Structure 1
Amino acid sequence: MTARLGLLEELRRRHVWRVAIAYAVTSWLVVQVATQVFPFFEIPNWAVRLVILVIVLGFPVVVVLAWVYEITPEGIRRTRPASAPDARPAHVGHRVARTLNVLIIALLTLAVAVLGWRVWVLQHPVGHATIAGTNARLASLPPALDVPGQSFAVGDSISQRVASASDPRKSVAVLPFDNAGDDRNQQYFSDGLSQDLITALSQFDSLKVISRDSAFRFRGSQDSPRIIAAKLGVAHLLEGSVRKQNDALRVSVTLVNAADGSVVWSQRYDKPYGDLFALQDAITQSVADALQARLVNTASAAAQSERPPSGNLAAWQAYQQGQFYTARNTQADVRQAIDAYAEAARLDPRYAAAHARMSYGWAGLASQYLIGSARDEAWARAREASNTALQLAPGLAQARRARGHLLLNADFDWLGAEAEYRRAVELAPHDAGMLFSLGNLDAVLGRVESAVVLTREAIARDPLRARWYNWLGIYLAALGQLDEAQRMIEAAIELQPNADSFHEQLAVIAILRGDAVAALAAAEQENDPSWRRVALALATQIGTDRNLADTALATLIAHDAENAPYQISEAYAVRGDADNTFLWLDRAWEARDPGVSNLLVDPLLLRFRTDARFALFCAKAGLPTATAAVAMRP
């Protein structure tokens, strides 16, 4: 017992305990720094493990050195026994002890501060509720869902799978990977890798994944991970870089916990280009494992892959070029996208996703840019590509959505489109675009509450899509929820200030309130000339200046009789002229004006829903007469 006490006293005299504690605390801090800093310099994971190994091996060495050597006024020397004549004086030992105590207290304070900060931020996770305070320009954006994690009934087979992840920690946004190669024209390649990861991760039932449109808005952003994640409503960010040189491929990937900026997982891959798909699978599985997500139906997930069935990498590259041009969304870009998809299909004739995307492209040209025979030809090509996609892969959600888009916009076959969209959502229940399309079709058929639910679900997965906020505002206005509708439209304007029709919709909300001044003010802010004429024709009808109202309506008819018969019908409805309302509504149907699809969510026209001609028109257009929407008050 005496010998043991003597050893403990000697350990205290030689300050071995203090040195061990200081070493342990310092080591913990070093590991924290290494795990946070190394990934940003693309230092591989084995380097962090090496640091930990060196620290562990160094501990006994430090303890031995503390025992063998001591600090004296003359410097460091071998420790003398306490009974030796030249032993270190007691007052010197006390001074060294006090110095070590101060150092230990400082290190412990720093460690507690770091640990406390991490605990605090982890208890305040990033989510939808934090969107409002993250950025002045996006401060008005609302939470994407009223009840996070709740599933809503839109059909039994869908409602069980559409619900957002119940665990908010299982959410991720894949940011656009940096193109680290010398060829700046290879951006489509790094974007394609990011897009494929989004598609693959979206197949995990318990994982919420943000869609490309919203995630890619943060290309080159200087915002912190916490701010980006707050805007997107996720807990994690996946970021990386891609360098392709000849047949060599280097991909660095980091999964970040947005709450505290810590690295959840990081890896650098050096692979031949031919191993690209295997590399993507490895990254997907590593991220899913890190987030504890599970893939319930492997076969279904594989069916939604947008890779070429043959594994032809040239076809995949052409497809990614098409995606790159599609995202830019001008007429010239749409045509280049179609050419790229056609090349992908030429390289792999069984590439169903390429045919589906080609169908979208031709449909976009037909509905937005072309008229006459050119438009008819574009619709025909869209139909041909859609048929091919469905023949090749009837279980591909993109193919179903492409067919639904055709049935809705070219054929006005509402029920046929509904069947295709509903099947698409069953196949890809976490795809924001599928959810939005089905919601839009529900609105066409008067199921406005369901449209609101599905659109909110879509926004939860693509929270920076301005047009979707506008549509959500339209649906809410149809339900009479004008204050919330206005907030949605204003959010859309915050996201895309120069977009067309947004201020026109604000004017409609003011009209529904009977506020002529606000309606006119909103109309005058409309950017697009055509939509400005529509907005002014609508707003002036509830004012007291009848000459101004007549002039605005006459101007709209003079300029837009062929392009906007549906909106002219709306203006007459606001005016209270039932005969001209139905006259122009019939003309809209004859011209296949896409505005007709809004009839059952249009309070302006619904003011005449009790008129016998309303039911006759619905029968002619194949629309039901029942709708949850409210009507404008006369």
Structure 2
Amino acid sequence: MEASRRAAMRALELDNELAEAWLALAEIQFDYDWDWSRAEMTIRTALEYGPKNAPVLRQATWVALTLGETERALEFAQLAVDLDPLDYSGLTNLGTTYWALGQPEEEERIYRQILELYPKAVSVKSFLAAALTAQGNPEEGLQYLDFDSENRWQRTMSTIVLHNLGRHEEERPIRQKMIEDNGRHWAFNIATTCAWHGDPDKAFEWLDIAFEQKDTLMTTLPIAQWLAPLHDDPRWEKILAKMGLLDYWKDMRGKRVGEEQ
């Protein structure tokens, strides 16, 4: 990571207006340093020099989402798709933005569009299954899941969908296999399954592991819909505080409550 940081800084020494170099630096500050304010400033600079640079817009989406700027996040994600309507990364970014915003109907629409273009997109199939489950249609979601898949999202969403259907004898071995085969690399995903299955102690145990491992998925804590069962547990705010995300999450939650009233 430090080599990547040095490379980005060297590129900026040669060309201080290179959007790609500012993007590389923002990604390090966001995914690895967890320095939210600095990442926000850096991605703004990248946007200044690359306002129509799709990778810059995608990273700007995630920075905005994590910091609770949901309207700006959707604008960035949509603009990236407008620039290249067939781009897999851009479409997936838009779909996951709708997931973060709690709009499963729009999320479903985007994922179906992606699968028309990329029918073998395994992760997207799992996201579609999750979107359907969020709308109360887990049975329909099953057709997009492969319980024997090695894909982390296929396994994660398989446990969630099966749990929603009450098929616990089928989901338990999948979750156990996640732990046995990929516990060192899938800590955040395992925490997600534990949270949704009503085991907060195990969920926080795995979140602590993800924190220590600098799991990049920890940056999604404020927007992770499947971790909602943990929100009323006092340990939830503690881990957000450790991440430096507590104030952002509280602001985001306050906005949503205001919108619902």
TM class by shorter chain equals: 0.7 to 0.9
Separation in structure 2 between the aligned mates of residue 613 and residue 449 of structure 1, nearest angstrom: 29
Q: How does 1:298-317 map to 2 (within 5 A)?
A: none
**What's 2:29 paired with?**
407
**What's 2:179 paired with?**
557
Q: Does 1:485 align with 2:107?
A: yes
Provide, for residues 487-533 of structure 1, a one-character-per-residue CA deviation record: whole Å limited to 9, x for no partner.
11111222222234111111221332233312332222896544332
Separation in structure 1 between the aligned mates of residue 130 and residue 52 of structure 2, nearest angstrom: 32
**What's 1:509 paired with?**
131
Q: Does 1:447 align with 2:69?
A: yes
Provide, for residues 36-68 of structure 1, a one-character-per-residue CA deviation record: whole Å limited to 9, x for no partner.
xxxxxxxxxxxxxxxxxxxxxxxxxxxxxxxxx
Separation in structure 1 between the aligned mates of residue 138 and residue 256 of structure 2, nearest angstrom: 20
Maintained 8 Å contact 2:84/2:90: no
Q: Does 1:592 align with 2:214?
A: yes
Counterpart secondary structure, 2:230: coil
Alignment-mate amino acid for residue 384 of structure 1:
R
**What's 1:432 paired with?**
54
Q: Does 1:604 align with 2:226?
A: yes
Maintained 8 Å contact 2:147/2:158: no
Shift of 1:613: 1.3
Separation in structure 2 between the aligned mates of residue 437 and residue 620 of structure 1, nearest angstrom: 23
Q: Does 1:619 align with 2:241?
A: yes
Separation in structure 2 between the aligned mates of residue 542 and residue 517 of structure 1, nearest angstrom: 9
Runs of at least 5 residues in structure 2 that lack an aligned partner in the other structure: none
Higher-Rg structure is 1
TM-score in terms of structure 1 length:
0.38
Separation in structure 1 between the aligned mates of residue 180 and residue 153 of structure 2, nearest angstrom: 14
**What's 1:456 paired with?**
78
Maintained 8 Å contact 1:474/1:601: no
Maintained 8 Å contact 1:503/1:525: no
Q: How does 1:335-484 map to 2 (within 5 A)?
A: 379-484=1-106
Separation in structure 2 between the aligned mates of residue 469 and residue 528 of structure 1, nearest angstrom: 23
Shift of 1:586: 1.2
Separation in structure 2 between the aligned mates of residue 487 and residue 507 of structure 1, nearest angstrom: 12
Provide, for residues 279-318 of structure 1, a one-character-per-residue CA deviation record: whole Å limited to 9, x for no partner.
xxxxxxxxxxxxxxxxxxxxxxxxxxxxxxxxxxxxxxxx
Separation in structure 1 between the aligned mates of residue 179 and residue 240 of structure 2, nearest angstrom: 24
Counterpart secondary structure, 1:524: coil
Counterpart secondary structure, 1:557: helix
Q: Which structure carries more helix by proportion? A: 2
**Which one scores higher on RCO, CA 8 angstroms, separation ≥ 6?**
2
Equivalent residue in structure 1 for 2:120, among 483, 494, 498: 498
Provide, for residues 180-210 of structure 1, a one-character-per-residue CA deviation record: whole Å limited to 9, x for no partner.
xxxxxxxxxxxxxxxxxxxxxxxxxxxxxxx
Q: How does 1:319-338 map to 2 (within 5 A)?
A: none
Alignment-mate amino acid for residue 482 of structure 1:
P
Equivalent residue in structure 1 for 2:159, among 537, 561, 566: 537
- Are the structure 2 counterparts of residues 520 and 459 from structure 1 closer, same or farther at C-alpha, using a change threshold of 3 Å? same
Alignment-mate amino acid for residue 35 of structure 2:
D
Maintained 8 Å contact 1:499/1:527: no
Separation in structure 2 between the aligned mates of residue 472 and residue 612 of structure 1, nearest angstrom: 32
Over 3 Å off, 4+ runs: 525-531, 628-631
Maintained 8 Å contact 1:475/1:601: no
Separation in structure 2 between the aligned mates of residue 619 and residue 595 of structure 1, nearest angstrom: 16
Alignment-mate amino acid for residue 446 of structure 1:
G
Separation in structure 2 between the aligned mates of residue 412 and residue 601 of structure 1, nearest angstrom: 16
Counterpart secondary structure, 2:48: helix
Separation in structure 1 between the aligned mates of residue 145 and residue 194 of structure 2, nearest angstrom: 17
**What's 1:345 paired with?**
none
Provide, for residues 131-165 of structure 1, a one-character-per-residue CA deviation record: whole Å limited to 9, x for no partner.
xxxxxxxxxxxxxxxxxxxxxxxxxxxxxxxxxxx
Q: Which structure carries more strand by proportion? A: 1
Maintained 8 Å contact 1:504/1:535: yes
Separation in structure 2 between the aligned mates of residue 542 and residue 530 of structure 1, nearest angstrom: 19
Q: How does 1:518-537 map to 2 (within 5 A)?
A: 518-524=140-146, 529-537=151-159
Counterpart secondary structure, 2:239: helix
Q: How does 1:22-33 map to 2 (within 5 A)?
A: none
Separation in structure 1 between the aligned mates of residue 36 and residue 115 of structure 2, nearest angstrom: 30
Provide, for residues 421-463 of structure 1, a one-character-per-residue CA deviation record: whole Å limited to 9, x for no partner.
1111112222222222211211122322321111001111121
Identity of aligned residues (%): 27
Report the aligned-residue RMSD.
2.2
Alignment-mate amino acid for residue 557 of structure 1:
I
Alignment-mate amino acid for residue 462 of structure 1:
D
TM-score in terms of structure 2 length:
0.88
Q: How does 1:101-140 map to 2 (within 5 A)?
A: none
Runs of at least 5 residues in structure 1 that lack an aligned partner in the other structure: 1-378
